Amino acid sequence: MVGLRAGLRGMTNPQLWIAVVENGCFFALLGLAFYFNLTGAGFFNFGIGAIAMAAAFTGSWLVTEHGLSRPLAGVVGVLGAIAIAVVMELAVVRPVQARGEGELSALVAVGASLFTIIQLSGLFLGHEARSGQPFWSTAPFSVGSARVGSTVVPIVVITAALFTLSYLALQRTRLGRLTRAIGNDTDAARVLGLPINTARLLSFAAAGLIAALAGITFAGRSGVSPDNALHWTITGFLALVIGGTGTVWAPLLGGALLALANVFIPFYFGGDVLAYGLVVVAMLFFAFRPEGVFAPRVRV
């Protein structure tokens, strides 16, 4: 009876559910960045977490060390993240694949880029954690007994806007349909003479934009350091794996499920169990539902 009451106390705690919403939006945005790369380039970009970290870390450094306004620092961070994503495609992924070395070599090269970004960020901006400097925040307010922090509303609005715009861009525009066609079958697209390089470059740039907005906004709550890059990459990848790749909305569900585990596992079992819990969740999906909740539909 005591265990039941404790369980209900956790599930009915509004503060925990606010944390689920905020974490879920962040994980979903990182998953959406992965989705864009996979859709437009047929490629898992494991540099997503590093790009998000670099944008947030640069913005914080510009505000705290050089006195830039948060909006201006945010713009610089976003543009820098897009530049990193574009350079990654042009200077790392494209040359490797052009030499015919396959997807594995490209993944290894991107993995090396992730750690390169981490080291360069620490070298030029410092290794110590910094407080986040979101370009948009709201005044904290209360809903009943729960406190809604300054970054909750912005990340919810940004998540809703980016998912809606992504759906419209990929499903309702000629360029979006072309990008999906190229990502689905690159070899056939090459035979047909479709602009493969342009679509890939745009998918990397869009992923960089989404990752940057996610990192800058979420860092306002959690802070940011170079060490976040790998963790953010893993959570974004898991959000996509859990949600699936069958629809642009899939990372949103994946992020929500991942956030539920991220919030309630520590609450019930302690923070030390979280890493093991996430591994178990990932293994269950890999074993029994590797295509995620929303599997891509193949028309014959």
pLDDT tens per residue, range 53-67:
999 999 999 999 999
Instruction: Report the pLDDT value the prediction gives residue 286, as an integer from 0 to 100.
Output: 63
Please give the distance of CA 133 from its chain centroid, rounded to a whole number. 18
Please check whether residue 145 is in contact with residue 11, taking contact to mean a CB–CB distance below 8 angstroms.
no
- What pTM was estimated for this model as a whole? 0.90
Domain ranges of the chain: 17-226
State in Å, rounded, how far the first CA of the chain is from the last one: 54
Q: DSSP for 206-237, please give it.
A: HHHHHHHHHHHHHHHHH-B-TTHHHHHHHHHH
Instruction: Report the pLDDT value the prediction gives residue 288, as an integer from 0 to 100.
Output: 60
- Lowest mean per-residue pLDDT among 145-154, 186-195, 211-220: 186-195
The letter for the amino acid at 2 is V
* pLDDT classification of 282: cutoffs 50, 70, 90: low
Collapsing DSSP to helix, strand or coil, 294 comes out as strand
The token pair at 191 is: 């035979």
- Lowest mean per-residue pLDDT among 40-49, 228-237, 255-264: 40-49
Top-confidence residue, 229 or 267: 229
What would the 3-class secondary structure string for 155-180 be?
HHHHHHHHHHHHHHHHHHCHHHHHHH
The residue length of the chain stands at 300
